[in-house]
Amino acid sequence: MAKCPHCGSTNVYGMSRVVGYFSRINNWNKSKQAEFKSRQKGDYTIKEEKCC
C-alpha cells in the first residue's frame, strides 16, 4: 500500500501476521516480499443485515 485510504498519508508500511506473530513486510527478503504480493487476499468482514 503506497497511500492510506482514509487520510491519504504516504507514511505507511505493510504488516503481516504469521502463526500469531506480526512482522513488518519491509524487513523481509525480496523473494518473500514477491511471494506476499502474489498471495490471494479476501474480504472477511462480517456485514450486519437488517432483520424484518
In 1-52 the beta strands, taken as DSSP E runs, fall at 15-18, 21-24
Q: What is the pLDDT of residue 3?
A: 82
Instruction: Enumerate residues 6+ apart whose C-beta is below 8 A from 11.
Output: 4
Q: What is the pTM of this model?
A: 0.42
Q: What is the pLDDT of residue 47?
A: 76
Structural domain spans, the chain: 1-38
Residues of the chain with pLDDT under 50: none
